[in-house]
Chain A
């Protein structure tokens, strides 16, 4: 008997299984939550987990609210996205600056070899979002709603992944030193940045903030350090918004 007839389409089975898990998560958690009291974090960890409970208490002194994101591998971009839009809504100068960066980014991507007809829809979606942000009657709830529309939200994620890639590729000489296990920055982007659902790390945050010339702070909540550690991107900048990082996941923090 031909061995190939015995081979089962395992990939398909794994994909189906993952799709099932994805659907379960989808039904239970929105892509972006409304603001919740920061105290809700404490309930996620055992009361006797001294490290986490201690660190969460020290969060209370600086932050009041948390906005949660779905754990679908795109959380960094959605957390970044809603925070960026909320900030731009308050800050007309930054709004005009960032709008221009985004508007012109399409040409930069084309220069880097991306095909115009492919990036067009993603670019347009982000520009439309930005135009909505400037409208006087645009509320934060509407922005949250926008980011919970799966199609729009995913197009946003795709485009911001491309911007992250663009910054890495444009500064390849520098980033080559930080891409363990990959031959080139181009490879790194095609495996670790551009695929939908790939989780983000330090290097992604450096690249995206670098492209947009924005400043953010990420607060790290983990078991490894004694105190809450905070990192600013770029270093020594005045952060325009704050994200909370727990291993493998990003949410948004508000004062």
Chain B
């Protein structure tokens, strides 16, 4: 059945294929266009470099009036990512606008990796290390980068 949400998601997918942003990819699952799998590659020159982080994006029929629920499936160590993979990012919550598409969502999360917002920590240890002990922070990040290569 074609609904506004599904039509829009088809267009988001087309755009992502025709004009793929660097370092992110995503596609709907085979049997449900409301559920997507995505990958974000850790940006160069950041502790996340070389990581291949998997995410799921769950849309509802209210998309694009409501944001999707985005979650890291790969283990993440980041001030704004919860233990369950949930992401604290304003455009996915109170700053959502229907002008964001999947491409914009993924590139925003990619930028968040190296530009955390320690003022709204979702992982207090990561926030603390990020501010007070960069070396230890980067060590922890390296560990999850390596972990992201498993289960390929």
| Chain A interface (Cβ < 8 Å from any Cβ of B) | 2-12, 15, 114-115, 117-119, 121-122, 151, 154-155, 158, 161-162, 190-191, 194-197
Contact = CB atoms under 8 A, between A and B. Distances in A.
Contact of A119 (B65, B99, B122, B123): B99
A117 B11 contact: yes
Interface string B96-120: 1111010000000000000000000
Contacts of B14: 117
Contacts, number: 81
A70 B24 CA distance: 39
A197 B62 CA distance: 14
17 contacts: A2-B125, A3-B123, A4-B82, A4-B83, A7-B83, A11-B86, A11-B93, A114-B99, A117-B11, A117-B15, A118-B64, A118-B99, A151-B4, A154-B65, A155-B65, A190-B95, A195-B96
A121 B65 CA distance: 12
Nearest to B122: A7
Nearest to B5: A151
B7 interface: yes
B32 interface: no
A159 to B, nearest CB: 9
A132 B65 CA distance: 23
A100 to B, nearest CB: 24
A15 B65 contact: no
Question: Shortest 5 CB-CB distances between A and B: which pairs?
Answer: A3-B125, A4-B123, A194-B97, A9-B82, A9-B86
A161 B100 CA distance: 14
A10 B14 CA distance: 34
Interface residues of B, number: 30
Say whether chain B's binding surface is mostly helix, strand, loop, or mixed. loop
B122 A5 contact: no
B8 interface: yes
B84 interface: yes
A7 B82 contact: yes
A154 B94 CA distance: 16
Say whether chain A's binding surface is mostly helix, strand, loop, or mixed. helix
B38 interface: no
Contact of B83 (A5, A155, A161): A5
Tell which of A2, A11, A15 has the most Cβ of chain B within 10 Å: A11
A156 B82 CA distance: 35
Given A4-B82, A9-B82, 15 more contacts: A3-B123, A4-B124, A4-B126, A11-B86, A12-B82, A114-B99, A115-B15, A118-B101, A121-B4, A190-B97, A191-B95, A195-B95, A195-B97, A196-B66, A197-B94
Contacts of B98: 118, 122, 158, 196
B88 interface: yes
A4 B125 contact: yes
Contacts of B121: 7
Contacts of B128: 3
Interface in B58-80: 64-66, 77
Nearest to B94: A195
Contacts of A4: 77, 82-83, 123-126
Given A154-B65, A196-B97, A9 B122 contact: yes
Contacts of A115: 15, 99, 101
A3 B95 contact: no
